[in-house]
């Protein structure tokens, strides 16, 4: 960092002379250091896939939670600081329930994502706080169809047909740009997501480190069982044929 930039580096509320908020940029770097997370929209819903990055055989994979249910029809996956993500998820759950009690109808996906991003944005504007070091892929279905949104530590949001956050985002997005097609089936979406995740992950993928969740017009939010996840991994050729006899 150049001399003279330190004051702007330390103050979240102060813009640098070239119009940058360094603390927000550092929060984005925290997201880039997180595990790769992908989301793919298909004909009747959205699929979320995460790599838990289990670093030790002593770790119980089930204790690592990076996919969360927000409401019956909305879920999200995170990359970055998971503790920060839990705070945002708790806030989003409260917002969804307040909307249901107040208006007697489920909140729309876009309205909820905007509420989350408004909350994240306030942590970039006031002294004494830091930005959330996490990004969320929010998937849901409502009266207007399936949606997949990406949220940024700055409070920005973008809707994608297929998106990714985390360390392997660049590789994943290149694959999606090349291979994603409108109106694909759930099976095709899962296979595409797994293929992109495999190419973006430097280490070998194991079935206990992968978690898949879907949000569809028929079943709402659902985390797939380990057996179903393993089946999809075999179909995609990610785990070896020798495991088929297990």
Q: If you search the block for the tokens 């690592």, which residue do you land on?
A: 64
Q: Which residue has the tokens 């917002």?
A: 95
Phi and psi dihedrals of 157, rounded to 5? -140, 145
- HEC profile for 47-67? EEEEECCCCCCCCCHHHCCCE
Active-site residue (options: 35, 37, 78, 201)? 35
Q: Which helix (H) or strand (E) holds 188?
A: helix 186-200
Residue 35 is among the residues annotated as catalytic for this protein: yes
Reference 64, options 48, 82, 84; nearest CA is: 82
Active site members: 35
């Amino acid at each position: 960092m150049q001399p003279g930039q330190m004051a702007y580096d330390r103050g979240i509320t102060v813009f640098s002379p070239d119009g940058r908020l360094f603390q927000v940029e550092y929060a984005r770097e925290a997201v880039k250091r997180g595990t790769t997370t992908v989301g793919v929209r298909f004909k009747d819903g959205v699929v979320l896939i995460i790599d838990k990055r289990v670093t030790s055989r002593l770790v119980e994979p089930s204790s690592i939670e990076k996919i969360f249910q927000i409401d019956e029809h909305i879920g999200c996956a995170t990359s970055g600081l998971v503790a920060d993500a839990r705070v945002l998820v708790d806030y989003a759950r409260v917002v969804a329930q307040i909307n249901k009690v107040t208006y007697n109808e489920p909140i729309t996906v876009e309205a909820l994502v905007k509420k989350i991003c408004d909350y994240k944005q306030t942590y970039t504007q006031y002294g004494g706080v830091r930005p959330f070091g996490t990004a969320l892929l929010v998937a849901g279905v409502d009266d207007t169809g399936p949606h997949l949104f990406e949220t940024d530590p700055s409070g920005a949001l973008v809707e994608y047909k297929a998106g990714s956050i985390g360390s392997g985002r660049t590789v994943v997005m290149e694959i999606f740009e090349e291979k994603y097609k409108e109106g694909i089936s759930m099976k095709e979406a899962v296979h595409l997501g797994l293929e992109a995740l495999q190419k973006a992950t430097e280490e070998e993928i194991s079935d206990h480190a992968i978690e898949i969740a879907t949000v569809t017009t028929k079943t709402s939010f659902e985390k797939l069982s380990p057996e179903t996840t393993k089946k999809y991994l075999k179909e995609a050729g990610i785990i070896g044929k020798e495991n088929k006899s297990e």
